[in-house]
Amino acid sequence: MLALTVKANTSLELTVTYAGNTNATIDDVAKRAHVSAMTVSRYLNDTGPVAAKTAQRIHAAIVDLNYIPHQGARALAARKTNTIGLILPEMNDIFFFQLIRGVQQAIAGQQIDLLLYSAATRGKPDVLNLPLGPHNTDGLLVFTDGLDETTLRRLHAKQFPIVMLYRTPPADLEIPTVLIENRQGAYDMVTHLVRCGHNRIAFLAGSADNEDAVWREAGYREALAAHELALISPLCASADFDEAAAANVVTHWLATGQEMDAIFAADDVSAHGAIRAVQAAGLGVPDDIAVVGFDDALLSQYIDPPLTTVRAPTEEAGRRAAAQLLRLIEGDSAELLTLLPTEIIIRQSCGWLSSNADTSQNHPTTKPD
């Protein structure tokens, strides 16, 4: 579409515009609609009244010029980026997609962009080395250790909105966080094993410095106590959330004659390792030894036997965290702790009820600790 504009000046000024071909600014729109830029801005942001007729002209001008507001300028003037950031330590599991999808749902239709970062830093080392921060976002979602504590403290000191995910903030920081019911989930799983008739329940713990791991072990111990089962020390070892490590531990147990009728692995990956080891020793899962995990990883329903495990509402975690962050950004107060319930997914690896595969049950939310 070719448009000709002839301005009635002393010298005939001829402006040829390939509409949509040029990067129109708010002033171009304003001129074309015969209003001031301010009115266009009001129209755009619903930040003040605009007469219906005026609005129509502005609308037409915007369409004609194929106008797109410039985020940078907007951010500068309004001191708002309309962008939130999500920092992930890594991206290697569908798990993160569920999380991201939740975040996207929460910001859908709100004129907010999502900036994503995983690990890595850059730039001059002295310039507070932040890929995502106050300079390009209005707030940050931090998953587990995506940000070190020092940086966290600095940003928090700047009053920068932050919501954590799957990580408890330093006690003195008052940063809202979204956690899942690790403790309760583990507790429920042990209870289920007990109901299935298991007494000697071994535990493959995760890394000691991992928050999820700590809560899961706590739930395990509590459940044992609640069911008046003694904790058998040698049957509680760390497998570091690692498949090979888990297999080694179990193989060692079996080789040294440890007796157990169930193994609760602190995550599905180590559960897979445990199953491998049990089977390699010529024993059956769940007939000789039951094995259960935690996480409900994608593969867990496909392995043999399908794994009984604990599932957390990942997508909802993302949604809730983003919602809290938006509140923070709006200046509203946010919930300091959002604790999401986990559910146990009963498949075949735990023995009993094997017909009832994939049945799940919800559990009430309670505070950890």
Interface pick for its own copies out of 3, 27, 38, 135 (rule CB under 8 A):
135
Nearest 5 degrees, angle CA 302-CA 306-CA 310? Answer: 105
Interface pick for its own copies out of 124, 230, 332, 369 (rule CB under 8 A):
124
How far is 201 from 224, CA to CA, in rounded Å?
Answer: 9
Q: Minimum CB separation from DNA for residue 156, in Å?
A: 20
How far is 138 from 144, CA to CA, in rounded Å?
Answer: 20
The secondary structure element, H or E, covering residue 321 is helix 314-330
Contact 26, 35 (CB under 8 A): no
Distant-in-sequence, close-in-space partners of 156: CB < 8 Å, separation ≥ 6: 162, 173, 174, 175
Q: Minimum CB separation from DNA for residue 81, in Å?
A: 12
Query: In a 3-state reduction of DSSP, which class is residue 46?
Result: coil
Q: Is 170 exposed, middle or buried (0-12, 13-18, 19+ CB in 10 A)?
A: exposed
Q: Which stretch binds its own copies (CB under 8 A): 57-65, 207-215, 261-269, 356-364?
A: 57-65
Pairing mode, if any, of strands 83-88 and 139-143?
Answer: parallel
Interface pick for its own copies out of 26, 35, 42, 67 (rule CB under 8 A):
67
Other Cβ atoms less than 10 A from the Cβ of 150: the count is 8
Counting contacts by CB under 7 A, is residue 32 touching DNA?
A: no
Other Cβ atoms less than 10 A from the Cβ of 127: the count is 9
Interface pick for DNA out of 5, 21, 23, 121 (rule CB under 7 A):
23
Interface pick for its own copies out of 5, 47, 48, 158 (rule CB under 8 A):
158
Counting contacts by CB under 8 A, is residue 72 touching its own copies?
A: yes
Counting contacts by CB under 7 A, is residue 132 touching DNA?
A: no
Q: Minimum CB separation from its own copies for residue 144, in Å?
A: 17
How far is 340 from 23, CA to CA, in rounded Å?
Answer: 46
Counting contacts by CB under 8 A, is residue 120 touching its own copies?
A: yes
Q: Minimum CB separation from DNA for residue 265, in Å?
A: 49
Judged by the rule CB under 8 A, the positions of this chain that interact with its own copies are 20-23, 44, 59, 62-63, 66-76, 81, 83, 91-94, 96-97, 100-101, 104, 108-111, 113-118, 120, 122-124, 126-128, 130-136, 154, 157-158, 298-299, 302-303
Judged by the rule CB under 7 A, the positions of this chain that interact with DNA are 23, 25-27, 34-42, 44-45, 47-51, 53-54, 69-70, 73-74, 76-80
